[in-house]
Amino acid sequence: MTARQALHNLKSRGYALSQKGRGTYVTRPKLEKNIMHLRGFTEDMKQRGMMPSSRLLAQTVLSAKGVLTEQLRVEEGSAILQLRRLRIADGLPMAIEESNIPLKHYPGLERTDFTSESLYKVLRNKYGVRAAWADEVLEASPATHEESELLSIPKNAIMLSISRVIMRTDEIPIEAACSRYFGNRYRASIRVPTTTIE
């Protein structure tokens, strides 16, 4: 009974994970993302005392179409830089991130080597961009085959998907992005301001 209680306590604190038919495994506690703060992955991990890194999966110039034209407020066919990166903290794959940036506002951005550069740092230092706010949507969905392999997680594991459009202070979209986190490694939190409760 004491051992079961201790194991239950470890699981509730995120230090262990039980899988039916496979046993119980040691895990790291979930990282908590406060969705009320607009912060890039690199800065977020550094503030936690972790070493961030990225692996560039794709860096492509595409023609805007469909929902991207609405999110980025560009005409169909406009040049979009799409970055797909595997985000890593302390050597552990944490997320797969896709960023779509309208090149008409940031000429030459596509020539940046994002194997080592931070997107937000380049936008800030080279183009003077200041982010003001973002619209975010959180969803849960199963991992794709590619995500399972890249994140070293079980097939169809539950993913925390955060889609967002980040805006500049002059109301021009900076990027439309989607970050996909393994649900057992990340959770979202929010502090809700007090309103009338009846």
Average pLDDT over residues 164-179: 92
pLDDT of residue 102: 96
Q: What is the DSSP string of 130-173?
A: -EEEEEEEEEEEEPPHHHHHHHT--TT-EEEEEEEEEEETTS-E
pLDDT score at 126: 93
Residue 63 has a pLDDT of: 95
Mean pLDDT across the stretch 31-47?
59
Instruction: Specify the pLDDT at position 194.
Output: 59
CA 173 distance to own-chain centroid:
18
Residue 19 or 94, more confident = 94
Query: How large a percentage of the chain has pLDDT more than 70?
Result: 70
Which phi and psi (to 5°) does residue 46 adopt?
Answer: -65, -40
Q: Which stretch of 6-10, 57-61, 153-157 has the lowest confidence by average pLDDT?
A: 6-10
- Give the pLDDT confidence score for residue 14 in this predicted structure: 46
Phi, psi values for residue 142, rounded to 5°? -70, 150
Distances (CA, A) of 42 to 1, 28, 46, 53, 88: 43, 19, 6, 7, 9
Q: Distance between CA atoms of 149 and 34, rounded to whole angstroms? A: 27
Tokens linked to 8: 């239950």
pLDDT confidence bin for 182, thresholds 50/70/90: confident
User: Residues 95-122: what's their mean pLDDT?
Assistant: 91
In this structure, are residues 162 and 138 in contact, taking their beta carbons and an 8 Å threshold?
A: yes
pLDDT cut 90: percent of the chain above it: 40
Euclidean distance between CA atoms 55 and 118, whole angstroms: 12
Whether pLDDT at 27 is above 80: no
Assessment of whether the complete model's pTM goes beyond 0.95: no
Average pLDDT in the 43-50 region? 69
Q: Which domains does the chain have, with CATH numbers?
A: 30-189 (3.40.1410.10)
| H-type alpha helices, 37-163 | 41-47, 67-72, 119-127, 145-151
> Mean of the per-residue pLDDT values for the chain?
80
Position 166 pLDDT exceeds 80: yes
Residue 117 scores a pLDDT above 70: yes
Reported confidence tier of residue 162, pLDDT bands at 50, 70, 90: confident
Rg (CA), the chain: 19
